[in-house]
Structure 1
Amino acid sequence: MNETEINQQEEKKIEIKDNSKRAKTLLTVFWVLTGLTLIGLLSGYNELQILKNAQIGEYVSEEEANISDLLQGIIGLVQFGLYIGSVVVFLNWFRRAYGNLHRAGITYIKHKESMAVWTWFIPIVWFYRPVQIMNEIWTETQEKIKSIRPINPIFHSWCKHRIVAS
């Protein structure tokens, strides 16, 4: 057997579930939320200008004030929905990433796959356990990648530098 066939057999043994769609969805939700936050800031500034004009005695139509209030309310509701959606998408992505470590055959993982979600909801534990799980995901994924295919030494040293710096 040549090296390509061995790598193909190793990849067949590892039945890792695809997490890329969840990651793309999460990034999209974050970008939409960022854009909506910027729109909310502009709308809030407009609302503030309307209130300042009314305060100094300039004429502000009731229709203009109502439209501004309605716009602020709609933006707030959409932002709230997107926040909830981003939490759900993130937790799904996080659980799948941690579960992939189990599916990759890494036996010394400290927690079950479901703990990747529940750890966010357990008081006190939510301060440290998500970081521990994310560190496991990062470290073990990097080790698994290195074992499957060699990594460019320059990229590897850059990654190490980024981890140490943060």
Structure 2
Amino acid sequence: MTEYHDTEWGRPSHDDRYLFEMLVLEGAQAGLSWSTVLNKRENYRRAMDGFDFERIASYGQAETDRLLADPGIVRNRLKVASVVRNARAFQRVREEFGSFDSYLWGRVEGTPVVSHWTVSEEVPVTTDLSDRLSKDLKKRGFNFVGSTIINSYLQATGVFDDHLVGCPAKRT
């Protein structure tokens, strides 16, 4: 967890495959701890073709059944189905905006939203942006994208810099 926090969490990412990976993992976390999902990350990469959203979008029943039988990932039927559904929706967003990166980062004009929280209790679990983005993603056909999940996603992908003031990983 420390290495993930210090080297990855909150770092701005503009790579569509990584943005999809984090969307899948954040959705898988619903009702679970982040450490549980993070510990299964390599299993997800193996089972889901390295988070290749184009390949995942073409998954049919055989691939879904294979995933549901894989003990290395969270085998919740709704979460597994959402990965395929989200891959298809992800592709549609890319077609419309040129990239998911453009869609996502366009919401903050390409610049991370920097907070100045001093204690973790100050960090909100949802924000106006996570509310709006969640609503829009749902309209576009995404699942497991509630405001709390999306807020975590925005933090993880660096759209929000929510490292606490004084944290060595805070970059701004």
Instruction: Give the TM-score of the pair, scaled to structure 1.
Output: 0.28
The structure whose residues are more often helix, as a share, is: 1
Which structure is larger by alpha-carbon Rg, 1 or 2? Answer: 1
Higher RCO, Cα 8 Å, sep 6+: 2
Instruction: Give the TM-score of the pair, scaled to structure 2.
Output: 0.28
